[in-house]
């Protein structure tokens, strides 16, 4: 690998004669398989040479994070004295990043062991109960665990054990969430998670009885918050703004179309794999975590062509089977947060100003477009993957043109 990167014999010899040649070559091949460009590999090779020289490494030596930091500071000061760097920060950060990644790859990084919190066993058993007994989706379980961990950490900070916690402690904790600026919906979600936790904790005799019954979040009114998102005209404006030859726009167009036309959730798009598309029958299979089963959709020509263009011109070879990957190495599947950032950026680039601008806003836009096209709530619910018709009824409430027609009906003098 080094012979491909360095053409001058003297430079190549300097790299080949340095310690840990085999380990550096192995790592460079690994980075190449991840999709790194030659320029990135060249920069990594140069940095690894400085790492082995400054840390005085051998094949069995374990290196601590503190040792890397000390060497990085010395290297950055040296670069500035030579006029090869204007600021210490860039040289130091690059050294730390490359050294950490390489040593972690070799198993030579002596990382500090993070101790699990004392309540880790509680949350682990609670997670299994939510999955097996309650049958909740992975996303819901993750949400419940996050809120539970926040509460238990708060209790630990105040030296309160689970056995001595009272209902007033839960109320006090929920009050601190409001002080942090949480809205009523978020606090109510937290209260729901804690109620579930204390139901299980009472069953296991971890805490005092009747706490779960006493957990109450702020009162929420049915359908008090109407779903909001861009109009269908604005959605088409976003789609038109992505009609370029830029690799990022080609990928993002396929993503936006899946959100807007099918109303998929971000987690559902993140889980899409290459095998989920049947090109012979033009069918798309998406896994619905709430129903715990897959749903089949016809692959529309517009979406199909956008995905094909992305696969042929943008998506690079990778062992990952997920459909959408990052554009830069190391190539890896996009996370749900990554999809959120992509959609937000597309809204900003198209100068679309709405209250909500994430993937779920496009899901609402899809639903409202289907309402406007005259589809029944049952058909819309099936398209969106709703488990209950109650989740779809809200779109009838926000269909203002139809509601105005109802209001203008002549009742023939009836009052």
Neighbours of 42 (CB within 10 A): 16
Catalytic position from the list 251, 288, 364, 386:
386
The angle subtended at Cα 256 by Cα 250 and Cα 260, nearest 5°, is 150
Distance of CA 303 to the CA centre of its chain: 23
Beta strands in 22-134 (DSSP E): 63-64, 109-110
Neighbours of 403 (CB within 10 A): 12
Q: What residue spans of 334-376 are helical by DSSP H?
A: 336-349, 359-372
Q: Round to whole Å and give the CA distance between 224 and 188.
A: 14
Catalytic position from the list 271, 290, 320, 332:
290
Q: Is the CB of residue 262 less than 8 Å from the CB of residue 316?
A: no
Please give the helix or strand (H or E) that residue 296 lies within, else none. strand 293-298
Q: Which two tokens stand for residue 353?
A: 């100003």
Q: Is the CB of residue 314 less than 8 Å from the CB of residue 327?
A: yes
Q: Is the CB of residue 269 less than 8 Å from the CB of residue 255?
A: yes
Catalytic position from the list 92, 147, 177, 360:
360
* Active-site residue flag, 265: yes
**How buried is 3 (Cβ within 10 angstroms: 0-12 exposed, 13-18 middle, 19+ buried)?**
exposed
* Active-site residue flag, 340: no
Catalytic position from the list 144, 200, 310, 395:
395
Q: Is the CB of residue 359 less than 8 Å from the CB of residue 259?
A: yes
Distance of CA 394 to the CA centre of its chain: 27
Q: Output phi, psi for 278, to 5 deg.
A: -100, 100
Nearest CA among 147, 170, 143 for reference residue 158: 170
Please give the helix or strand (H or E) that residue 191 lies within, else none. helix 184-203
* Active-site residue flag, 363: yes
Cα separation values, 281 from 193, 205, 255, 284, 309, Å:
43, 55, 21, 9, 18
Residues facing residue 325 across a β-bridge: 333
* Active-site residue flag, 290: yes
Residue with tokens 């550096």: 24
* Active-site residue flag, 386: yes
Catalytic position from the list 363, 364, 369, 383:
363
Catalytic position from the list 251, 265, 315, 369:
265
Residue positions annotated with a catalytic role: 265, 290, 360, 363, 386, 395
């Amino acid at each position: 690998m080094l012979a491909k990167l360095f053409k001058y014999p003297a430079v190549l010899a300097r790299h080949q004669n340095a310690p840990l040649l085999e380990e550096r070559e192995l790592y460079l091949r690994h980075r190449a398989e991840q999709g790194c460009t030659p320029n990135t590999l060249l920069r990594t090779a140069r940095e690894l040479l400085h790492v082995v020289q400054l840390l005085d490494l051998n094949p069995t030596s374990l290196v601590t994070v503190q040792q890397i930091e000390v060497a990085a500071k010395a290297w950055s000061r040296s670069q500035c004295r030579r006029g090869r760097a204007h600021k210490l920060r860039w040289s130091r950060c690059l050294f730390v990043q490359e050294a950490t990644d390489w040593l972690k790859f070799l198993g030579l990084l002596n990382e500090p062991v993070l101790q699990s919190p004392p309540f880790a066993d509680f949350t682990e058993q609670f997670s299994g109960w939510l999955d097996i007994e309650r049958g909740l989706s992975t996303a819901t379980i993750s949400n419940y665990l996050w809120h539970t961990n926040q509460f238990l950490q708060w209790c630990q900070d105040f030296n309160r054990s689970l056995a001595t916690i009272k209902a007033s402690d839960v109320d006090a904790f929920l009050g601190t969430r409001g002080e942090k600026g949480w809205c009523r919906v978020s606090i109510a979600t937290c209260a729901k998670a804690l109620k579930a936790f204390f139901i299980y904790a009472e069953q296991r005799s971890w805490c005092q009885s009747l706490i779960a019954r006493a957990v109450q979040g702020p009162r929420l009114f049915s359908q008090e918050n109407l779903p909001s998102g861009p109009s269908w005209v604005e959605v088409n404006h976003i789609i038109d703004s992505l009609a370029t030859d830029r690799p990022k726009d080609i990928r993002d167009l396929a993503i936006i179309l899946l959100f807007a036309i099918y109303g998929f959730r971000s987690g559902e798009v993140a889980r899409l794999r290459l095998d989920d598309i049947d090109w012979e029958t033009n069918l798309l299979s998406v896994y619905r975590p709430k129903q715990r089963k897959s749903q089949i959709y016809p692959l529309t020509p517009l979406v199909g062509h956008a995905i094909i263009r992305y696969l042929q011109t943008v998506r690079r070879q990778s062992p990952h089977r997920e459909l959408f990957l990052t554009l830069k190495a190391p190539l890896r599947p996009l996370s749900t947060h990554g999809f959120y950032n992509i959609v937000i950026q597309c809204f900003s680039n198209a100068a679309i100003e709405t209250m909500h601008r994430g993937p779920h806003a496009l899901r609402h836009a899809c639903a409202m477009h289907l309402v406007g096209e005259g589809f029944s709530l049952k058909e819309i619910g099936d398209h969106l993957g709703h488990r209950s018709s109650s989740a779809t009824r809200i779109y009838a409430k926000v269909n203002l043109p139809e509601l105005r027609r109802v209001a203008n009906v002549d009742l023939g003098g009836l009052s």
